[in-house]
Amino acid sequence: MLFTIDKAKKIIEKEIEKHTFGEHPNELYEPIRYIMSIGGKRMRPILMILSYRLFNEDLKKCIKPAIAAEAFHNFTLMHDDIMDDAPLRRGKPTVHEKWDVNTAILSGDVMLVKTYELLLTVEKKYLHDFLHLFNTMAARVCEGQQMDMNFEKREDVTLDEYMEMIKRKTAELLAFCMEAGALLAGADSKNRQLLKDCGYHAGIAFQLMDDLLDLYGDAHIFGKTVGGDIVANKKTYLLLTALSRAKENDKEKLKQLLSLDGIYAEEKIKEVKKIFDKLEVRTITELKINEYFEKAFQCLRKTEASMMHKNQLKKYLETLSNRNQ
Amino acid sequence: MLFTIDKAKKIIEKEIEKHTFGEHPNELYEPIRYIMSIGGKRMRPILMILSYRLFNEDLKKCIKPAIAAEAFHNFTLMHDDIMDDAPLRRGKPTVHEKWDVNTAILSGDVMLVKTYELLLTVEKKYLHDFLHLFNTMAARVCEGQQMDMNFEKREDVTLDEYMEMIKRKTAELLAFCMEAGALLAGADSKNRQLLKDCGYHAGIAFQLMDDLLDLYGDAHIFGKTVGGDIVANKKTYLLLTALSRAKENDKEKLKQLLSLDGIYAEEKIKEVKKIFDKLEVRTITELKINEYFEKAFQCLRKTEASMMHKNQLKKYLETLSNRNQ
């Protein structure tokens, strides 16, 4: 039977559905099942499975580690949402809103522990190396989140610093998923490295696209308010690019717009967008996104696996690069 | 050279001091070094090392896992202190007070990840089983904390439920430390089980003693305000024992005292203590503590190891049973 992305997603959803994480006390485990059930693209487990499949078609050794990657991602969301004071996640109340902050802290903690327990299904010969990869990635994701929080208090964030932050906060996990898939399938270190780099570049592209879609995406499809990052004065790739390219006049105007609290949101978005347009921020960002996706494709091309399987992975990355949500 | 508890403690302190956990961003790792440096009894790593030493005198394979146990314990404190809104820990400001709640959440998260990285120093042949023990324990500690929080909102907590809660929240980690020490030293499953049970019983005794010392300890030495649990209406072993033994009259009076907010703390403590004394709560608790320490000693006696080493471990447990802090 043909293996499709839809099939991969079904396998993942089924596995998530049957995994309870734990039973008693219910207050601890229900929020975990809740956040795992409210959807998302399942991009991380899909990437791990497709990377594994480049070298090995018998998926059973990869399913639970793939679920673990999704669980880790959701654990970070549960705690990040507390820190960002976010009321909604995927259109549903966040855990600290639906329950309370203490529940979100403690459920998140046990979720990370249960993620490690899922990782113990990894074949013993790979276990040490696999966990070392995971730990390294997990620490870097936390470091990225801390950098992101630090940026909120600073007015002198550079584009380089921003790139370093999204590398950690977003790209590391995608790189891990792809490298881990290759590792579990028995790929050699050269091919592991290629897939890691592929995930890394795709992860950066993915995050830049997130920044772009916040302002230029279709509000209905994207499911967020257009321009939310501008209203929140978030230091995104768009804003930092604009600030780095703006002449004295526009830079002053931008900074003034950022400092205004009384201005209507719509007006603020419109004014900032006008400056972005003048400075060709959209085009520059799109070029950057394409550059990173192209780098990802190059790594994939060099990977020693069947053309058919590589094409499937490439097509999946392309759907991510063409996404409007 | 003679191996003493002091020497074990010095080894641990030295190892903790040289372990940075991470560097950048500093906001993430400084709170970890802070909480690890503000002391405590180091009971958990000492128990792991002494248990290991029953079967193997070459300690080097045990030091980093022992530090990991201490790190895990401090991770739970960092997050518990947020949940309990505690201003002080060991007489020093808690992490969320000294920094802020977000820092305490995220530093705690990365601290748990770095704990797992420390555990990767475990010999490969033991790694899977060791991590499974650790994960099981860690989830139970979280479950105990959740039960504890649930108890705050309930008026019908039974003694059995309370015992179940402290088993998870406190005893599981001590049992883990002792079993893990035996496992790493190559002990067989029978001896591992004996040490696990020893730690379990000692852990329960230790927590009951904590409850007792809160009211009957020496305020100066214990470093807390006497009767703090009564003022906070905490469901301790003392209170639940009193409620389970009190006749209608005293039960009413106790419940009334618990519900009074306006009453002066000192008066409240005095009145509650009067009822405790009448119901022989102190004696009953002391008997219970001795019963559990005796169970712990029995397990240790049955363990197949040199008398000399067993005596050292027994003496250490005795110092815990005679502690006034």
Structure-token match 């905490």, residue found: B234
Number of CB pairs, chain A paired with chain B, less than 8 A apart: 112
Q: Whole-prediction pTM value?
A: 0.95
By C-alpha distance, the chain B residue nearest A125 is: B124
| Contact (CB<8Å) B105/A83 | yes
Output the pLDDT for position A40. 87
User: Chain A contacts of B126, Cβ < 8 Å?
Assistant: none
Output the pLDDT for position A226. 81
Nearest to A27 among B110, B127, B150 (CB): B150
Locate A230 and state its tokens. Answer: 């501008």
Output the pLDDT for position B103. 96
By C-alpha distance, the chain B residue nearest A140 is: B110
The strand pairing partners of B89, in sequence order, are: B92
By C-alpha distance, the chain A residue nearest B110 is: A139
pLDDT per residue of chain B (325 residues) written in tens, 0 to 9: 578 999 999 999 999 999 999 999 999 999 999 999 997 899 999 999 999 999 999 999 999 999 999 999 999 999 999 999 999 998 899 999 999 999 999 999 999 999 999 999 999 999 999 999 999 999 999 999 999 999 998 989 999 999 999 999 999 999 999 999 999 999 999 999 999 999 999 999 999 999 999 999 876 555 566 888 888 889 999 999 999 999 999 999 999 888 876 668 889 999 999 999 999 999 999 999 999 999 999 999 999 999 999 999 999 999 887 765 4
CA distance A54 to chain B (A): 27
Average pLDDT, chain B: 93
Output the pLDDT for position B231. 87
User: Chain A contacts of B149, Cβ < 8 Å?
Assistant: 27, 102, 106
Q: How many Cα atoms within 13 Å fall on the side-chain side of residue B23?
A: 0
CA–CA separation, B303 vs B296, rounded Å? Answer: 11
| Contact (CB<8Å) B131/A124 | no
By C-alpha distance, the chain B residue nearest A130 is: B120
Instruction: Read off the pLDDT of residues B277-310 as tens digits, 9 standing for 90 and up.
Output: 999 999 999 999 999 999 999 999 999 999 999 9
CA–CA separation, A54 vs A313, rounded Å? Answer: 9
CA distance B142 to chain A (A): 6
CA A281 from chain centre, in angstroms, equals 22
Mutate to test the interface with A, among B106, B128, B136, B157 (most CBs of A within 10 A): B106
Output the pLDDT for position A222. 54
Q: Are B142 and B165 in contact (CB under 8 A)?
A: no
**Sites in chain A below the pLDDT cut of 50:** 325
One-letter amino acid at A159 equals L
Output the pLDDT for position B135. 98
Output the pLDDT for position A163. 98
CA–CA separation, A64 vs A67, rounded Å? Answer: 5
Q: Are B144 and B165 in contact (CB under 8 A)?
A: yes
Taking the alpha carbons of B189, B190, B195, B200 in that order, is the dihedral positive or negative? Answer: positive
Taking the alpha carbons of A160, A162, A168, A173 in that order, is the dihedral positive or negative? Answer: negative
Q: Does B316 touch chain A (CB under 8 A)?
A: no
Q: Are B129 and B122 in contact (CB under 8 A)?
A: no
Output the pLDDT for position A220. 58
